[in-house]
């Protein structure tokens, strides 16, 4: 039986439209939500991501400001720009596009963002809130994954969830969210022994690795929900996820494609987080 495909483009479109309408309502009350996006250097992939974020903001009626700085920008200058954005009342959300050049301590820059404007959800205050179940900004990609699971009505309570990848922006926050939904969660990484034996137990399997076609059909339990977070550029220029889509789709119960899966959801959640920031008193 072929898996049901969870269409991230369609769901993201619906969520973006809902956000657009709420932005209109907020604007009518005199508040124009604003997002500032800071990019340092000219990494081509980062430029594409930033361009998409800005375009999506415009479509949702969110005022976006793009701050482009040269790769030679030093940490003090970047900290000063973040401080200015923190103080700017027209800016409700601040996003510093990662990765930053090696001479800048990305952690220090993220910690300099005011937690009330941390729409990426990477600040330690946001991570702490997520960990302890307090309200706060949830990182966009894990939030997008949860929205997909919810929309597809994948049962979470009591399920076995396995995440491959332990990054601060995907694996760890997603584990917290799945735990909050009463899944039993295992996080795997490059030192995990007998990975396939663990993934074969998963009702929900999330791949956030960064290696094309890493998850093969023999690693998947029949009927499982497979969420592919990976974005990998193949030598021929095409995009591929971390999951061997064609083969895994024959085994899984649900699967997300790449492109058109988690990627569009990440941007939809960024817009939702910016709206949430603008709503705060
Ligand atoms: P990181 O590189 O920070 O983390 C990758 C994780 O994969 C690490 O925990 C690493 O383990 C683990 N890993 C690497 N090799 C193996 C292996 N052989 N077996 C098991 N685990 C392994 O990546 P990110 O979390 O930032 O991103 C992951 C992927 O998701 C990338 O392709 C990225 O482009 C994509 N992405 C997509 C987004 C979207 O919007 N769809 C948003 C963010 C990311 P260890 O910790 O031991 O090194």
Which of 97, 172, 228, 244 is an active site residue? 97
DSSP β-bridge partners for residue 5 = 255
Residues 194 and 150 in one domain: yes
Does residue 66 sit in the same domain as residue 177? no
In this prediction, residue 179 carries a pLDDT of 98
164 and 253 co-located in one domain: yes
Residue ranges, the chain, pLDDT below 50: none
pLDDT at 168 (0 to 100)? 97
Annotated catalytic residue 221: no
Q: What is the pLDDT of residue 71?
A: 97
pLDDT of residue 280: 83
Residue 64 belongs to domain with CATH number: 3.40.50.10860
pTM score: 0.97
Identify the residue whose C-alpha is closest to ligand 1 atom 42: 141
| 101 within domain boundaries | yes
Sign (positive or negative) of CA dihedral 68, 125, 107, 83: positive
Ligand 1: does its nearest atom lie under 6 Å from the Cβ of 209?
yes
| Cα-to-centroid distance, 168 and ligand 1 (Å) | 10
**Domain shared by 102 and 193, yes or no:** no
Tokens encoding 167: 């990054």
Distance CA 49, CA 53 (A): 6
Q: Could you identify the atom of ligand 1 that is nearest to the CA of residue 242?
A: 32
pLDDT, residue 255, reads 98
For residue 166, give the ligand 1 atom closest to its CA.
9
99 and 44, same structural domain? yes
The range of the structural domain enclosing residue 168 comes to 139-262
Residue 253 pairs in a beta bridge with none
Provide the strand spans (E) within the chain: 4-5, 34-40, 63-69, 93-96, 160-164, 184-188, 204-207, 225-228, 232-233, 239-240, 254-255
Q: Are 121 and 137 in contact (CB under 8 A)?
A: yes
Considering the chain, what is the average pLDDT of its residues?
A: 97
39 and 83 fall within a common domain: yes
Give the residue, out of 56, 163, 190, with the most ligand 1 atoms within 8 A of its beta carbon, to mutate for a pocket test: 190
Q: Look up the CATH number of the domain holding residue 230.
A: 3.40.50.720
Q: State how many domains the chain has.
A: 2
Q: What is the pLDDT of residue 165?
A: 98
CA of 101 from ligand 1 middle (Å) equals: 19
Does residue 109 sit in the same domain as residue 145? no
Residue 271 belongs to some domain of the structure: no
Gap from CA of 187 to ligand 1 centroid (Å): 12
Q: In this predicted structure, what is the pLDDT of residue 1? A: 58
Please tell me whether residues 172 and 224 are part of one structural domain. Answer: yes
Distance of CA 19 to the CA centre of its chain: 17
Would you say the CB of residue 191 lies under 6 angstroms from ligand 1? yes
């Amino acid at each position: 039986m072929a898996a049901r495909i969870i269409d991230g483009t369609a769901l993201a479109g619906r969520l973006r439209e809902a956000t657009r309408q709420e932005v209109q309502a907020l604007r009518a009350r005199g508040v124009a939500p604003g997002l500032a996006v800071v990019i340092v250097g000219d990494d081509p992939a980062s430029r594409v991501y930033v361009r998409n974020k800005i375009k999506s903001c415009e479509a949702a009626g969110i005022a976006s400001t793009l701050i482009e700085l040269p790769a030679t920008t030093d940490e003090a200058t970047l900290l000063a720009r973040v401080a200015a954005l923190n103080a700017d009342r027209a800016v409700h959300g601040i996003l510093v596009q990662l990765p930053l050049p090696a001479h800048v301590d990305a952690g220090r820059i993220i910690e300099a963002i005011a937690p009330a404007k941390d729409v990426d959800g990477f600040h330690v205050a946001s991570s702490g809130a997520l960990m302890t179940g307090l309200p706060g900004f949830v990182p966009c990609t894990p939030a997008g994954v949860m929205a997909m699971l919810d929309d597809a009505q994948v049962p979470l309570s009591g399920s076995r969830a396995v995440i491959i990848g332990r990054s601060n922006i995907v694996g760890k926050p997603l584990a917290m969210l799945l735990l909050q939904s009463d899944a039993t969660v295992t996080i795997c990484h490059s030192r995990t022994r007998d990975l396939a034996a663990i993934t074969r137990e998963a009702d929900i399997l999330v791949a956030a690795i960064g290696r094309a076609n890493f998850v093969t059909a023999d690693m998947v339990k029949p009927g499982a929900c497979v969420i592919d977070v990976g974005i990998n550029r193949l030598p021929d220029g095409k995009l591929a996820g971390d999951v061997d889509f064609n083969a895994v789709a024959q085994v899984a119960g649900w699967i997300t494609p790449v492109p058109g899966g988690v990627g569009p959801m990440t941007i939809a959640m960024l817009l939702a987080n910016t709206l949430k920031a603008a709503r705060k008193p």
